[in-house]
Structure 1
């Protein structure tokens, strides 16, 4: 309905209302679950072994590309024994396996009140007592948390290495992680001395764990092609872990 007209000037202290959200801005809201803010933390006993990716340029990679093309034309599966090793085969590195210190009221010693906001002093103390190093953004020089508005209200907090791709209709958004960039950042934490290099006892513990897994599957692999293929991959990982741990020990 039409608004009444007025000839009175707007008072100088009048408040200007904001424009309503457009249809496009509403579509930009992601269908994500609400998640609390967080800081990443490191524990000296938590590591992962990451294999180096195929280089794509060495003689082994070029040969394997030819074999894959031939198999695709013939609609055949590739026999692993026909493939040549890449120069990066059996090479990898130990990287820290980080976890989250959630900044949520009542969780891990984090207190919250409407008037004062979050108090994370106790949460930081508890994490340190448990052996963690909290990677506070101000101390690592990187604000790594990104905040997203959720369709149902509230906020979702993700890392800067995660990309949110809205899905059509009522489907939840897809989250895609840039693991290459994330691993680069983990390496920089070690190079800058913020996180120490893995110690030999922790590396040896991971190696023994994988050896035990392989030993448990030995009796069944002959009759299970899928298990045999997975164990071949684990055997390559084991060789890489042993070589990497040896290089660290003698560095």
Structure 2
């Protein structure tokens, strides 16, 4: 973790305030003054501010059912930030592990633990994401097989990783993917001559959506642990 982030996570200081304290020589790591806010510190390091030992707040792991018309950003833009729905202190420390578009609904995971979220978002960890997809027209025969083999997306050099398609109805499917390219689900269906008209994420790894729209809860310890070791099941 960067030193300025460690100080923020251990005090009431803003990022600017933490950086100022570091530059002024008020912060020491293992007894040595460190004035570079980008310096990396680890769990076993002793960090002090003006002689007081700092202890970072515990990491937080949150599940939310994202409403349509909100964005996965820490600040409002064209649409309001979903963080407006979370009544917690220090929400500026939180980030979203796998963003959804403004018009996409469903499961988002929110945390301040960057190592944990890496396991969810990096394709090499093969963490499953399950979406319910509404389509503009019935699927052609053979699309499920195409998705299993990988789809060539416009502007991409490589095929998508194998994906699982489960037919619910002529224009209603479940799609399971293990990566998260830009607008990937929409682009995959566009590549096979269809168009996504509704998109809702229902599961990430072994964690399923179980709260009402706009609501959130903390993950259980078992859920946190399961996502730290997620792997592909198909």
TM bucket (normalised to shorter chain) is under 0.3
Which structure is higher in strand share? 2
For the pair shown, which has the larger CA radius of gyration, 1 or 2? 1
Which structure has more RCO (C-alpha within 8 Å, separation ≥ 6)? 1
TM-score (norm 2): 0.22
TM-score (norm 1): 0.21
Which structure is higher in helix share? 1
